[in-house]
């Protein structure tokens, strides 16, 4: 490359005049920086006569060459380069940007030579920049340059593996050399810190250099005295941040091998309390936040040590621990409104979890003693949080501040939980005393409600952690609810409802207290502003108290139905919750007539609206946007009903009913006669009719579905949109999960509806419904097994025909299909048509090439299970399929290993392990040999030797680790980094940059098997 200095200068000037749109110039300048010619012109660009931009480019080029291309420099030129660097550093001492690059270059030079070529580098540099020896520089400038360089050296060492390519072994050697020189460096730092004639500006650089060296790390025993010397400097505004950061580094980077020294140092750091008090008195929040942050860091990093000291020491050190924690309580209680008046009180939130977590790790008498020491602290914390979480007036905060305060209150909620784990009943006793005071205050003045709201917030925070057996404090809290004069205070009632809903699980075990809770919820359902929070609380209650809610069924049902009538424009989520409440209450053993009465009242408007949408769509031939949104909302309501309406008395204890999928639904083996699905000309009434001679009444949900499903079938005949398909499938899935085998009378209709949904849309949700039906009625002893086989056959045939041309557009469907197929292969292989088995196996192999992890996982699970069953099963053609597809599977795995996302490696390894376990032998070896001989397969990436090594590694592997090593070696070889320093540092292949899907399409791997 012919590069002239003039051309480089012109390019630099042109680029800096307008960097935008100068991509070509940028690339050219970057390329010459990395070229070998840069050694010849870099220092010429540092001529004082040239512009700052050219000089900076020159300094940066020197740094790049020294740090990244050291191997290009002959050893005999080391000394000359060192002299040039020192000369240029002195010359540009007053130009911070340029000297900064030169100092980094000098640091890289030191790291490259300190192990062999320049072992006295640090000592020599200290001598070179000694103010007494340097006449060309001011003493302060010389010290500034020296300590800036000392600051940069450890930083460069930290990044040297990435930027300089220094191997880890050499890096450890360099670190050892720096450790050996650290004593002299620390001595020099102390001398400068103690020197009165040295300015604070220089001392700031010294402190930053010390902070950098502490990150090596250095033992606290070596640095403690120097660090203590820094504490008085924290009172200087210029130095405070650097001092505190240095002190923090000393404690966070330290490995804690000398706890006695650490504790002595922590006691010394409490001298900062006087600085903190001065900052608080002067309203210097910046200094206060630095010191509070340091104290927080101490407790976070040394909590266990502090607790041990508090346990074993009864003198100064225990007092220091308690003082430190009390200071953080003080921080949490900083006066003023967060975040408008103060931003300190959020600093120590993480500490309260750390202390309780470590404290509870102690046992026996040790824990009892620690509890007695720290309980007063946490009791004080309760009072602090109750005060700090008081709501400000609405107009006091902007929208952004309100969001900050919301997050702040959530952190307080979390801290309440940690506090409860320490205090238990003592916390509830304190909250109970506050409750009495708050109720008295609001009874005297209804405007004084904020303390009560804050307290209710605290009660809600500990609801999940309060023991179910508590019969003292929670009962008194619940009994106080009727005593609160809520009036028309919407916010206070909302918080009260949310809090009571949080205690739903406790109320399930204490039914006698429901009478204090439910009236408030029912009354709130009658208020447009409260119906949302009331429905949330009552839904939680009905979900957690499925049986104990029965005595309150009539008023709850009436209130819910009135709410649906009164507030038709309510949010859809509110209506879904109300429908859920109705369904749960109707499932607690009410008379059939009562159930049907309330179902008619609730569902008549919904079903009528669905029917009206159907009629309107039949006229136009499509759904309008408004009709579609309304239909989705209505079907969601029906889906909520289907999820929770279950007159089976065992439903609430049956885990299947709550699973949400059909994976655990037991298959039905009951024989059933032909069932007819009656139509209905009037969808607005649910008629009560018997099903069969085996039961006197049928499930109410079944009667609902008799009316709804025919209407929905007509709707999907008109037009299918993804959102409609999804909600209809959710309705069917919830219905099947609830009714189980009781859905049998609707099988003829479902066999028409479900395949139509799936084959029209290829929607994964429809496939989930097919899976549920096949599990319920697909067992060999079921009367419907042939119908289920037909449904599965149609669905698989449709899938294979439509997915094969374009796998990339249907990865979610492929994932669901292969998950379903895995279940069929495992438990219901009789449902698979023989013609579909090889096609599914081939599809799974193709799916390994897809970029989505979840699809590859499903494909791997299917192939693994198929291979295992092919040996275990009596179905002979499974084994033949594996053998016929062995070569293409191996080619695909190898191809994926050479074009992977890193997280797929364990999956590929798992596949190879399974294949070797069941099929290692002549056939597998023959497939490998054929692949090795095919130079057109990955020929540009892999040699025959690489492929042979992979074959040997896979077939000879005795552990998962061996197989993973073989896959890793193959991938490294394909990237050309095998047997390199880069490759040896990774136990598995690092991730590759994102590629367009078309770039990942595998090459042709041979003809498809028959």
DSSP string, 640-687: HHHHH----TTGGG-GGGGTSSSTTPPPP------------S-TT---
Q: How distant is the alpha carbon of residue 45 from its chain centre?
A: 49
**Residue 283 and residue 342: Cα distance in Å, rounded?**
10
**Residue 505 and residue 511: Cα distance in Å, rounded?**
11
Other C-beta atoms closer than 10 Å to the C-beta of 772 total 22
Grouping H, G, I as helix, E, B as strand and the rest as coil, residue 695 is strand
Burial class (CB in 10 A: 0-12, 13-18, 19+), 973: buried
Burial class (CB in 10 A: 0-12, 13-18, 19+), 1010: exposed
State how far the alpha carbon of 505 is from the alpha carbons of 420, 468, 652, in Å. 18, 8, 14
Joined together, the tokens standing for residue 10 give: 């012109």
**Phi and psi (nearest 5°) for 692?**
-150, 175
Joined together, the tokens standing for residue 257 give: 């091998």
DSSP 129-184: T-TTT-SSS-HHHHHHHHHHHHHHHHHHHHHHHHHT---HHHHHHHHHHHHHHHHH
1008: Cβ–Cβ under 8 A, 6 or more apart, which residues? 842, 888
Q: Which phi-psi region, left, alpha or beta, contains residue 740 (left: φ > 0; alpha: ψ -120 to 50)? A: left
Helices and strands in the chain, H and E counts:
45, 0
Grouping H, G, I as helix, E, B as strand and the rest as coil, residue 692 is strand
Burial class (CB in 10 A: 0-12, 13-18, 19+), 691: middle
- Walk along the chain (1010 residues) in steps of 10 and give the mean pLDDT of each run: 81 85 86 91 93 95 94 94 96 95 96 94 94 87 96 90 73 92 96 94 96 94 95 90 96 80 95 96 95 97 95 91 97 96 97 96 96 96 97 87 96 97 96 97 95 97 87 94 93 96 93 94 94 95 90 95 91 95 92 93 95 92 91 97 84 42 41 35 42 56 95 91 94 96 95 93 93 94 93 94 85 94 91 92 94 92 94 77 94 85 79 93 93 89 90 92 91 68 42 32 33
Among residues 944, 935, 973, 968, the alpha carbon closest in space to that of 954 is found at: 968
Joined together, the tokens standing for residue 1000 give: 């990942």
b/e map 373-409, b = 16+ CB within 10 Å: bbbebbbbbbebbbebbebeeeeebeeeeeebbeebb
State how far the alpha carbon of 372 is from the alpha carbons of 279, 308, 379, 420, 1002, in Å. 32, 14, 11, 14, 67
202, 192 contact by CB (below 8 A): yes
Burial class (CB in 10 A: 0-12, 13-18, 19+), 548: middle
**Residue 944 and residue 928: Cα distance in Å, rounded?**
11
**Residue 846 and residue 889: Cα distance in Å, rounded?**
9
DSSP 253-284: S---S-HHHHHHHHHHHTTHHHHHHHHHHTT-
The reported pLDDT for the residue numbered 313 is 84
pTM of the predicted model, to two decimals? 0.82
Partners of 692 in the β-ladder = 695
The reported pLDDT for the residue numbered 282 is 94
The reported pLDDT for the residue numbered 169 is 81
Q: What is the 3-state secondary structure (H, E, C) of 973-996?
A: HHHCCCCCHHHHCCCCCCCCCCCC
**Phi and psi (nearest 5°) for 695?**
-145, 140
The reported pLDDT for the residue numbered 548 is 87
**Residue 594 and residue 773: Cα distance in Å, rounded?**
31
976: Cβ–Cβ under 8 A, 6 or more apart, which residues? none
Helix, strand, coil content of the chain in percent (nearest 5): 75, 0, 25
The reported pLDDT for the residue numbered 255 is 65
48: Cβ–Cβ under 8 A, 6 or more apart, which residues? 55, 91
**Residue 829 and residue 837: Cα distance in Å, rounded?**
10
Length of the chain: 1010
Other C-beta atoms closer than 10 Å to the C-beta of 983 total 17
The reported pLDDT for the residue numbered 767 is 94
């Amino acid at each position: 490359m012919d590069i002239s200095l003039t051309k480089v200068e012109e390019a630099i000037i042109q680029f800096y005049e307008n960097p935008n749109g100068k991509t070509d110039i940028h690339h050219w300048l970057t390329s010459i920086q990395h070229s070998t010619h840069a050694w010849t012109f870099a220092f010429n660009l540092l001529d004082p006569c040239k512009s700052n931009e050219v000089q900076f480019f020159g300094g940066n080029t020197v740094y790049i060459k020294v740090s990244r291309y050291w191997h290009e420099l002959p050893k005999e030129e080391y000394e000359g380069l060192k002299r040039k660097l020192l000369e240029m550093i002195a010359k540009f001492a007053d130009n911070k940007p340029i000297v900064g690059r030169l100092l980094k270059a000098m640091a890289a030079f030191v790291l490259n030579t300190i192990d062999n070529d320049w072992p006295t580098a640090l000592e020599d540099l200290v001598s070179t920049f000694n103010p007494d020896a340097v006449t060309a520089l001011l003493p302060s400038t010389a010290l500034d340059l020296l300590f800036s360089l000392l600051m940069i050296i450890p930083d460069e060492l930290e990044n040297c593996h990435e930027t300089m390519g220094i191997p880890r072994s050499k890096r450890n050697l360099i670190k050892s050399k720096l450790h050996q020189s650290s004593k002299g460096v620390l001595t020099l730092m102390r001398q400068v810190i103690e020197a009165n004639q040295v300015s604070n500006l220089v001392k700031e650089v010294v402190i930053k250099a010390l902070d950098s060296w502490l990150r090596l790390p250095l033992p606290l025993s070596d640095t403690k005295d120097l660090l203590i010397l820094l504490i008085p400097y924290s009172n200087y505004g210029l130095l405070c941040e650097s001092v505190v950061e240095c002190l923090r580094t000393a404690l966070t980077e330290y490995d804690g091998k000398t706890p006695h020294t650490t504790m002595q140092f922590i006691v010394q750091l409490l001298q900062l309390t006087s600085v903190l008090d001065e900052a608080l008195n002067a309203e210097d929040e910046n200094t206060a936040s630095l010191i509070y942050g340091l104290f927080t860091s101490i407790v976070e990093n040394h909590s266990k040590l502090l607790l041990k000291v508090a346990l074993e020491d009864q003198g100064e050190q225990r007092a220091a621990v308690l003082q430190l924690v009390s200071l953080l309580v003080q921080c949490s209680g900083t006066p003023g409104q967060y975040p408008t008046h103060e931003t300190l009180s959020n600093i120590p939130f993480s500490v309260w979890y750390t202390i309780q977590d470590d404290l509870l790790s102690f046992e026996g008498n040790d824990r009892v003693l620690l509890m007695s020491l720290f309980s007063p602290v946490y009791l004080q914390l309760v009072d602090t949080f109750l005060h700090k979480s008081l709501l400000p007036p609405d107009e006091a905060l902007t929208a952004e501040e309100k969001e900050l305060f919301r997050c702040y209150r959530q952190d307080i909620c979390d801290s309440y939980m940690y506090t409860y784990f320490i205090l238990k009943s003592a916390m509830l006793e304190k909250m109970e005393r506050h409750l009495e005071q708050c109720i008295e205050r609001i009874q005297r003045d209804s405007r004084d409600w904020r303390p009560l709201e804050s307290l209710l917030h605290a009660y809600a925070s500990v609801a999940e952690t309060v023991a179910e057996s508590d019969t003292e404090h929670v009962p008194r809290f619940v009994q106080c609810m009727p005593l609160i004069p809520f009036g028309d205070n919407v916010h206070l009632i909302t918080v009260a409802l949310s809090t009571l809903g949080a205690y739903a699980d406790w109320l399930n075990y204490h039914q006698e207290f429901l009478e204090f809770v439910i009236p408030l919820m029912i009354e709130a359902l009658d208020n447009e502003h409260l119906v949302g929070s009331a429905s949330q609380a009552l839904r939680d209650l009905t979900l957690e108290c499925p049986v104990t809610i029965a005595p309150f069924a009539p008023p709850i049902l009436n209130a819910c139905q009135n709410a649906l009538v009164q507030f038709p424009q309510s949010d859809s989520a509110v209506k879904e919750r109300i429908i859920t409440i109705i369904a749960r209450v109707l499932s607690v053993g009410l008379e059939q007539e009562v159930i049907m009465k309330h179902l008619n009242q609730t569902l008549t408007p919904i079903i009528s609206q669905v029917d009206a949408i159907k009629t309107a769509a039949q006229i136009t031939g499509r759904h309008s946007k408004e009709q579609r949104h309304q239909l989705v909302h209505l079907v969601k309501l029906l889906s909520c009903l289907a999820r929770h309406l279950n007159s089976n008395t065992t439903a609430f204890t049956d885990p299947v009913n709550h699973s949400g999928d059909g994976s655990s639904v037991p298959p039905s083996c009951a024989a059933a006669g032909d069932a007819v699905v009656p139509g209905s000309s009037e969808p607005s009434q649910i008629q009560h009719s018997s099903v069969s001679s085996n039961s006197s009444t049928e499930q109410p949900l079944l009667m609902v579905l008799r009316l709804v499903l025919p209407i929905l079938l007509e709707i999907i005949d008109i037009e299918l949109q993804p959102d409609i398909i999804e909600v209809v499938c959710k309705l069917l899935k919830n219905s099947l999960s609830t009714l189980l085998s009781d859905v049998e009378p609707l099988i003829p209709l479902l066999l028409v509806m479900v395949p139509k949904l799936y084959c029209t849309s290829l929607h994964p949700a429809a496939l989930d419904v097919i899976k549920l039906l096949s599990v319920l009625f697909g067992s060999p002893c079921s009367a419907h097994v042939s119908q289920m086989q037909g449904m599965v056959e149609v669905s698989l045939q449709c899938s294979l025909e439509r997915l094969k041309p374009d796998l990339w557009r249907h990865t979610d469907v492929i994932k669901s299909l292969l998950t379903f197929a895995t279940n069929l292969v495992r438990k219901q292989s009789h449902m698979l048509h023989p013609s579909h088995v090889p096609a599914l196996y081939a599809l799974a192999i193709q799916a390994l090439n897809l970029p989505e992890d979840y699809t590859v996982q499903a494909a791997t699970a299917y192939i693994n299970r198929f291979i295992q069953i092919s040996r275990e099963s009596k179905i002979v053609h499974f084994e033949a399929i594996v053998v016929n597809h062995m070569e293409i599977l191996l080619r695909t795995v190898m191809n994926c290993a050479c074009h992977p996302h890193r997280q797929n490696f364990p999956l590929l390894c798992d596949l190879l392990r399974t294949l070797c376990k069941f099929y290692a032998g002549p056939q597998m070896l023959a497939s490998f040999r054929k692949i090795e001989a095919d130079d057109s397969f990955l020929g540009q990436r892999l040699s025959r030797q690489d492929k042979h090594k992979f074959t040997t590694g896979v077939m000879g592997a005795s552990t998962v680790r061996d197989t993973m090593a073989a896959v890793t070696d193959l991938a490294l070889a394909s990237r050309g980094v095998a047997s390199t320093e880069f490759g040896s540092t990774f136990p598995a292949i690092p991730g590759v940059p994102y590629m367009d899907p078309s770039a990942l399409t595998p090459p042709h791997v041979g003809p498809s098997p028959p």
